[in-house]
Amino acid sequence: MIDIHNISKWYGEFRVLTDCTTKVSKGEVVVVCGPSGSGKSTLIKCVNGLEPIQQGQIHVDGAEVTAKGADLTALRSRIGMVFQHFELYPHMSVLENLCLAQEKVLKRSRTEAEERARALLARVGMSEHSTKYPSQLSGGQQQRIAIARSLAMDPIAMLFDEPTSALDPEMIKEVLDVMVELAQEGMTMMVVTHEMGFARKVADRVIFMDVGAIVEDRPTADFFDNPESERAKDFLSKILNH
Amino acid sequence: MDYNWNWSVLLEEQYLDWLISGFGWTIAVALSAWCIAIVIGALVGVGRTVPNRLISTLCTAYVELFRNIPLLVQMFIWYFAVPEMVPEDMGRWMKRDMPNPEFVTAVVALGLYTASRIAEQVRAGIETVPPGLSAAGKAHGLSLSQIYRYILLPISFRLIVPPLTSEFLTVFKNSSLALTIGLLELTAQSQQIAEYTFQGFEAFTAATVIYVCIALLATVIMILLEKYTRIPGYVGKEG
Ligand SMILES: Nc1ncnc2c1ncn2[C@@H]1O[C@H](COP(=O)(O)OP(=O)(O)OP(=O)(O)O)[C@@H](O)[C@H]1O
Ligand SMILES: [Mg+2]
């Protein structure tokens, strides 16, 4: 489904990604972890073409994202993306947040879009908040709405960039629950997170990155039980002991 | 001080007519210039933020040019120099046949100058919108123009209503410069009344009161606009 082949990326002189290669098959859940600044966000932003790359190719569902003149808007509308800081549109009600791209990109009618929006709000447990504005909701609620907003586009895969790291501890679970359910229903997911409990529970594979390179890319149990590299061991001991 | 106060001159028909006509020209110049300024200011302000190098450079040049030349000089340039610089036929038309040349020139000069100031507000407004919001729009497949139309412009518009209020007030005040090219707006008419009647205090007091009333009205309108467009719970300004 997502095929990342030997990609490298520079910000000016600075090399953010170095020869990264990995695959995410249909229905697979892959967790990406690693120290701050290792290039996790950059990697998943490349998958939907939010960031251009200078070397290598990325294919999503057979189409080359990195090709010159690739139809990025069409591609992006098929890949959901959830951000650390939710990024809900502050001037729109919850319902309008869910309808905007459905109407403008997928050209759904208002009624169709609202119907889909309401179904998804119910699914993430936010039905009674549809007329509120984002700033009237808690972080956990906002993030669940952001997930519903992405799902409204009927994506073939979902990308998550640290979806719970801006949340107060007591709200993390409500968001993770939604993500676990999604994973169990067979959504293809690439998740940058430090929630190792989530990784153990639903991830098929874990990718560990350091200074722009993929250092480990192994089945979940393998990764936790006997990480190969010193850096991954070091990282795990820090993250699991706090 | 030996001054004969005589407020009743203001009510004499001739002078009252002058005041009313001056008031009318002031409103006409300011509102027409404001319309030009809003349209061009919004376009130029947006132009400064788009990823296209050529467009953003041109828009920056516009702002720097019009914002940094004193408005009075711009008025003179439009009135005296431009008709000499354009092709001869057009220049002749501007000097001889253009209807209301003082009014048109004042509106163009004030409008283009104010546009450069509004462009700065618009640009600042757009740049204050958190970049993550455009990224989210992009990630959902919205095109650049859709991101501007549905996300960046509606949010930044709300952010810039207060600074726009002060620009709006400034347009009325700046419209008085039109008297230098011979437009008989409010200030010019008061001056004329002062010269005819020697009642300068009364004449300029009347003008002052009228300017203050315009300013109050404009402020009230903008406050209502701000209230009307306020986002519930946003930027901690819940009313
Ligand atoms: N727009 C940019 N211009 C220049 N450098 C950037 C830019 N964005 C990111 N970087 C740099 O690229 C590196 C990787 O950034 P990235 O955001 O992908 O890291 P990350 O692994 O997601 O880190 P974190 O855990 O802090 O989110 C960092 O060193 C960062 O400073
Ligand atoms: Mg990151």
Give a yes or no: residue B66 inside a domain: yes
Q: Are B181 and B74 in contact (CB under 8 A)?
A: no
Nearest to B208 by CA among B75, B26, B12: B26
Atom of ligand 1 nearest to the CA of A38: 21
Tell me B141's DSSP state: T
Give a yes or no: residue B48 inside a domain: yes
Give a yes or no: residue B112 inside a domain: yes
Q: Are A208 and A232 in contact (CB under 8 A)?
A: yes
Q: Does the structure show a pLDDT above 70 at A107?
A: yes
What are the pLDDT digits (tens) for A159-190? 999 999 999 999 999 999 999 999 999 999 99
Domain range for B40 is 8-229
Q: How far is the CA of A59 from the centre of ligand 2 (A)?
A: 22
Tell me B230's DSSP state: P
- Helices A110-123 and A94-104 sit at what angle, rounded to 10 degrees? 130
C-alpha–C-alpha distance, residues B158 and A33, integer Å: 39
Tell me B4's DSSP state: -
Q: Give the DSSP H/E element, type plus range, for residue B102.
A: helix B101-128
Tokens at B142, concatenated: 């919205």
CA-proximal residue: ligand 1, atom 6 (nearest):
A11
Give a yes or no: residue B221 inside a domain: yes
B146 in reach of chain A (CB within 8 A)? yes
What are the pLDDT digits (tens) for B3-12? 888 888 888 8
Which residues have CB under 8 Å from B152's CB, separation 6+? B49, B126, B129, B133, B134
CATH code for the domain of B181: 1.10.3720.10
What are the pLDDT digits (tens) for A187-217? 999 999 999 999 999 999 999 999 999 999 9
Cα Rg of chain B (Å, integer): 22
Answer whether A193 contacts ligand 1 (Cβ < 6 A). no
Positive or negative torsion for Cα A99, A101, A104, A105: negative
Domains of chain B: total: 1
Alpha carbon A210 to its chain's center: 19
C-alpha–C-alpha distance, residues B98 and A153, integer Å: 57
What are the pLDDT digits (tens) for A4-41? 999 999 999 999 999 999 999 999 999 999 999 999 99
- For residue B143, which residues of chain A lie inside 8 Å, CB to CB? 73
Give a yes or no: residue B181 inside a domain: yes
The residue with greater pLDDT, A152 or B233, is A152
Asked if A76 lies within 8 A of B141 by C-beta distance, the reply is: yes
Give the Å distances, CA to CA, from B69 to A126, A236, B170, B224: 55, 62, 16, 33
- Helices B186-197 and B200-229 sit at what angle, rounded to 10 degrees? 160
Asked if B158 lies within 8 A of A150 by C-beta distance, the reply is: no
What ipTM does this complex have? 0.92
Task: State residue B237's pLDDT score.
Answer: 39
Task: State residue B236's pLDDT score.
Answer: 41
Asked if A135 lies within 8 A of B232 by C-beta distance, the reply is: yes
Q: How far is the CA of A42 from the centre of ligand 1 (A)?
A: 7
Which residues have CB under 8 Å from B76's CB, separation 6+? B180, B181
Give a yes or no: residue B236 inside a domain: no
C-alpha–C-alpha distance, residues A98 and A114, integer Å: 8
C-alpha–C-alpha distance, residues B187 and B34, integer Å: 19
Tokens at B78, concatenated: 């439009």
Answer whether A48 contacts ligand 1 (Cβ < 6 A). no
Q: Give the DSSP H/E element, type plus range, for residue A2.
A: strand A2-11
Atom of ligand 1 nearest to the CA of A36: 25
Tokens at A104, concatenated: 């403008």
CA-proximal residue: ligand 1, atom 28 (nearest):
A37
Answer whether A135 contacts ligand 1 (Cβ < 6 A). no
What are the pLDDT digits (tens) for A43-95? 999 999 999 999 999 999 988 988 888 888 888 889 999 999 999 999 999 99
CA-proximal residue: ligand 1, atom 1 (nearest):
A11
Nearest to B133 by CA among B111, B148, B116, B118: B148
- For residue A71, which residues of chain B lie inside 8 Å, CB to CB? none
Give a yes or no: residue B3 inside a domain: no
Give a yes or no: residue B239 inside a domain: no
Q: Are A91 and B152 in contact (CB under 8 A)?
A: no
DSSP alpha helix (H) spans, chain A: 40-47, 72-76, 94-104, 110-123, 139-151, 169-184, 196-202, 220-225, 230-240
Mean pLDDT by 10 residues, chain B (239 residues): 84 90 95 96 96 96 96 94 90 87 94 97 95 95 95 93 91 94 92 91 92 92 88 54
